[in-house]
Amino acid sequence: MAITPFRHLAVAATLLIVSTTATPNKRDGTFANPSAQVRPFFRYWLPDGSVDPTVVASDIRSAAEVGAGGIEFLPYYGYGGAIGGNPPGSDWVTYGFGSAPLQHLLQVALEAAKENSVLVDIALGPNQGQGVPASPDADGIQWDLVPFVQRLPVNQPSERIPGWGEGELVACILASVDSKTNVSMTGDSFPLDSSPPQSSYLELVLDEASLQDVTHKVSSDGILAIQSSGSSCNPYVFSFYQKRTLHKALEVESNRTDTILANGSFVVDHFSKEGAKTVIDYWNNHILTEDIRQLLGDVGNYGWEDSMEFTSNISWTPKLPDAFYNKFGYSLAKYLPLVMFGQNNIMAQPSNPGLMKAVFKNKQTSDKYINDYRSVLADGCPECESLQWKDKIDGYRQFAGAAYLAGRKVVSNEMGAVETRTYSLTIPELLQRVNKAFAGGVNRVMLHGQPYSGDYYGTTWPGSTPFQYLFAGMHSPKQPSWIHGFDEAMGYISRAQFILRQGIPKFDVAFVNKDSATDPNWATKYGRDDLVDAGYIYTYLSPDNLELPEASVDNSILASQGPGIKAIVVTHDANITVSAIQRLKGYAAKGLPIILSGGSAQYYPISNDGGVDAFKTGLQELANSKGVHTTASGDVAKALASHGASPRVGVQTNGTWYITWREDKEAQVDYAFIFSDGSNSQGEITTTTDKVPHLFDAWTGQRQPVVQYNRRAGVLVIPLTLKANQTAILAFSAHSLDGIYTPSVHIKSAPNSVLGYNLDYESGAVAKLAHTVNPSADKFVMSDNSTRTVPDTSVIPSSFLIRDWTLTVERWEAPANMLDASTIASIRNTTHHLPSLLSWTEIPALVNASGIGYYSSQFIWHPNGQNQIGAYITFSSILYAVQVFVNYEKVAPIDPTAGTADIGPYLRDGENELLVVVPTTMWNYLRSIFPEITESGTPPLLSSSTSPMNFPGIVPNGWVGEVYIRPYMSFALGI
């Protein structure tokens, strides 16, 4: 997790080794069994280099067993000692990043990965990878701009400029202030820092015309030689200095002088070659033994050689501010250099403005500064984060658009760091977040995270819990679900990612807008429903992205070999540059439809761009260009459709469906990944294709042709029903798929009694029909216009409920010795009789219980000799996960959103034995013993009086709702 408000944690994102060397063939494995490359990874938190290597090896084996593709090896060191401090007994200088024991652990981890056929990413440094141990006067450690502001003392023009002596002077600016406001900050940031959270900042509104660069007038002893002009009222002087921040990702107290580790670990300069070189040198000298280099060649997720090249190819010019200006191209920064970054590091998130910010008076130039993350992301290794993005689909779009335009294949997401939900986040909640990320363009999740499972200093059972119990999730065998449902969820994620890595992602529409550092972080930009309702797939690009070589128009399509954008939308509240207007004019001339929605866009100034007049003229010319259409706001979908930009997938539904679309030209297969957000939904999707539609089930790995659909005037129409948060994968293939029976005709219309279809070579297509009270003479109508008359469905037994459960609870509890952190759990069983299902919190003996519930019941089944009678089992609610056994045979994995499975093959005449295995989260139990828990020598921050978060209450556990058996009759369709 990247928690940014740590003052001293400059760049909190874990920096990864990037750039792939995957072999092209079979790189991804198969849909049923995806390769390690495409499976989700765990961030693996190694407490420090002193831990037991055999436990590290077994943790990696567990990760592989549960279906992870690998781990991100993160030497966490108690988050640099920032939360809770380094525990008594720990010894960074001996066991730090680069020490011999750490080298040994890394080697063991790589060997374990090799043995278990999984891959390893490695953070570039300790804590979150922000840097490495270094000398405090190394040029490659982090630099910062430090701003100061002061009213110009009218009668003392020779006073030293504010902050003089703070560092090397970069700029000194004079400006008149028209007004000032104290703005209070209502943050949603996590004040984990020991310093009090910033509660307000001073906002100065400047008169743009009054800005004067007076840097050259500052004498060598800091005297600003100017005369008060008299005309400018309220003059302020702004001064900016550059200096090393000496920020450390890891603080250490040591008086040793014989090792560089005694300095702790510095944050390096992420904008300079020197920064990269500092990291490279450290790795060469302290990490990369010959054995480790070789192992990295085998199991390094991204080729090591490449990564070195990548790292040394960073061409950012050294030091601020030039690096910053060159990189971001902000000229305004010249006048307002980074004021809003205040005393923080330049990479501080935009949601944390510094001590003050200044804005221009003129609305058109108001707070249009600096930090366009998207242009950076197009360059680097994009990984976003579910926590900072607040699981917003629109936020992910803003992140992913540039990456895909720039030809990136993988958009990664640090998934599942949810506040106050450690040990209580459920699988359906995690998957909902995963699916939202997928809907926004993410195609790799890196799960947050897997803790080291062994003993550690001052740490009781259930063991090392990074971030002091503040954040989910702790994925390890200490979760009862680990091999009782979590593994199946990992299978789902892996298969969905497999699909989301095939071919190239396509988007119908891109919004163009330049973000400002002061804009809310990843806020929803386009809040209307019309595009989603119509099926449009859209993304965001910044003016800088339009300068990428990939951003050209052919055949009226932007980046036709890439995202294939069919139209561009510029909304009236979008902030765009003069050069973006010129780009858009060029696109329009080449036939790309451009929609100006709701009025004129806003001016985003850049140096030497001709100013607001050039902007206005340019915008007017753009509006008058052929192929540029001006519409009222809110009419975007309509305008797109009427100007020839139709969605690749049309949607008609009573719910909300998010579509992602990928085209694999080589295999001649297109994929639609559909996510039903929030509600049960029904409808159809339409697309223009001759290809044959298939339904892929990411829970089971099963693939089968869609049996029932229509083709109307060249348009394929597929009916679809999805539960809340359920997803569906449709694959449109030009060929029949290997080993899959594909009938030559399909069903155009079918009776309502159809529950589903099965296909195989032996029986062809088989419909499953439900009991109907008054069956009408319904028919199936085939695409060749032949019909099939439905048999009498009133003879099919009707649905029935299962009641009267015997519940055996395997209670997972603390070992007698709380300091035994490596024990999974101490287990004891209790048995309960339940006439109907209830949350454990409603059963007095189980209120504080966590573990695994084994629910068994029996039912009588008399198919009356009709072997075509089978049944589905349906759960009205799944809190966490279920695994179903019928007559001791395991039923296929059940999607918790759908809650249903075919148990027909497992039924027998007479009494049938049903066993439902239901894991719970550990929270209710842990909560009940919380005072006994310590983490790295202290009570968890979550329960302390200084906790930034409320201590969470008890959560529903176990199994609630009803379970139905729904008989069906198999009806062979003869196709």
Q: Which residue ranges make up the site for ligand NAG (CB under 6 A)?
A: 253-255, 366-368, 513, 515-516, 519, 525, 573-575, 602, 654-655, 679-682
Number of CB atoms found within 10 A of residue 631's CB: 18
Please say which residue, 264 or 870, places its beta carbon nearer to ligand NAG: 264
Distance CA 283, CA 519 (A): 37
Please say which residue, 176 or 513, places its beta carbon nearer to ligand NAG: 513
Report in angstroms how near the CB of residue 208 gets to ligand NAG at its nearest: 15
Residue with tokens 């060029």: 586
Report in angstroms how near the CB of residue 578 gets to ligand NAG at its nearest: 15
Element containing residue 629 per DSSP (H, E): strand 628-631
Report in angstroms how near the CB of residue 899 gets to ligand NAG at its nearest: 14
**CA 354 to chain centroid:** 26
User: Is there a contact between 490 and 40 (Cβ–Cβ < 8 Å)?
Assistant: yes
Which pair of tokens denotes residue 529? 């429903």
Please say which residue, 366 or 460, places its beta carbon nearer to ligand NAG: 366
DSSP structure string for 382-411: -EEEHHHHTT-HHHHHHHHHHHHHTT----
Please say which residue, 792 or 962, places its beta carbon nearer to ligand NAG: 962
Please say which residue, 525 or 746, places its beta carbon nearer to ligand NAG: 525
Report in angstroms how near the CB of residue 797 gets to ligand NAG at its nearest: 24
Please say which residue, 366 or 957, places its beta carbon nearer to ligand NAG: 366
Report in angstroms how near the CB of residue 96 gets to ligand NAG at its nearest: 14
Helices 100-115 and 53-65: crossing angle, nearest 10°? 30
Which pair of tokens denotes residue 535? 């099926």
Report in angstroms how near the CB of residue 573 gets to ligand NAG at its nearest: 5
Distance CA 268, CA 432 (A): 36
Report in angstroms how near the CB of residue 724 gets to ligand NAG at its nearest: 9
Please say which residue, 149 or 517, places its beta carbon nearer to ligand NAG: 517
Please say which residue, 368 or 495, places its beta carbon nearer to ligand NAG: 368
**325 to 213, 329, 418: CA distances (angstroms):** 16, 5, 35
Please say which residue, 252 or 296, places its beta carbon nearer to ligand NAG: 252
Report in angstroms how near the CB of residue 570 gets to ligand NAG at its nearest: 10
Report in angstroms how near the CB of residue 255 gets to ligand NAG at its nearest: 4
Please say which residue, 242 or 597, places its beta carbon nearer to ligand NAG: 597
Distance CA 878, CA 961 (A): 8
User: Is there a contact between 122 and 72 (Cβ–Cβ < 8 Å)?
Assistant: yes
Of 256, 262, 253, which is closest to residue 98 (Cα–Cα)? 262
Distance CA 371, CA 349 (A): 9
User: Is there a contact between 867 and 898 (Cβ–Cβ < 8 Å)?
Assistant: no
Please say which residue, 61 or 361, places its beta carbon nearer to ligand NAG: 361
DSSP structure string for 31-72: SSSB-GGGS-EEEEEE--TTS-HHHHHHHHHHHHHTT--EEE
Please say which residue, 602 or 772, places its beta carbon nearer to ligand NAG: 602
Please say which residue, 772 or 924, places its beta carbon nearer to ligand NAG: 772
Distance CA 104, CA 93 (A): 15
Report in angstroms how near the CB of residue 686 gets to ligand NAG at its nearest: 18
What is the helix, strand, coil percentage profile of the chain, to 5? 25, 30, 50
Residue 702 CB burial class (10 angstroms; 0-12, 13-18, ≥19): middle
What's the chain's length in residues?
975
For β-strands 248-250 and 200-206, DSSP reports them as unpaired
User: Residue 196: helix, strand or coil by DSSP?
Assistant: coil
Q: What are phi and psi of 84, to 5 degrees?
A: 80, -15
Report in angstroms how near the CB of residue 682 gets to ligand NAG at its nearest: 4
Report in angstroms how near the CB of residue 500 gets to ligand NAG at its nearest: 26
Report in angstroms how near the CB of residue 89 gets to ligand NAG at its nearest: 14
Report in angstroms how near the CB of residue 112 gets to ligand NAG at its nearest: 34
Report in angstroms how near the CB of residue 60 gets to ligand NAG at its nearest: 34
Return all residues near 864 (Cβ < 8 A) that are at least 6 apart.
Answer: none
User: Is there a contact between 883 and 901 (Cβ–Cβ < 8 Å)?
Assistant: no
Please say which residue, 283 or 360, places its beta carbon nearer to ligand NAG: 360
User: Is there a contact between 345 and 11 (Cβ–Cβ < 8 Å)?
Assistant: yes
Distance CA 283, CA 15 (A): 14
CA atoms within 13 A on the CB side of 640: 27
Q: Going edge to edge, which strands form the sheet with 538-541?
A: 538-541, 509-512, 567-571, 594-597, 628-631
Please say which residue, 142 or 366, places its beta carbon nearer to ligand NAG: 366
Please say which residue, 575 or 934, places its beta carbon nearer to ligand NAG: 575
Report in angstroms how near the CB of residue 588 gets to ligand NAG at its nearest: 21
Distance CA 84, CA 97 (A): 19
User: Residue 104: helix, strand or coil by DSSP?
Assistant: helix
Distance CA 454, CA 65 (A): 18
User: Residue 617: helix, strand or coil by DSSP?
Assistant: helix
Residue 347 CB burial class (10 angstroms; 0-12, 13-18, ≥19): buried
Please say which residue, 391 or 515, places its beta carbon nearer to ligand NAG: 515
Report in angstroms how near the CB of residue 418 gets to ligand NAG at its nearest: 26
Residue at 288: amino acid letter: L
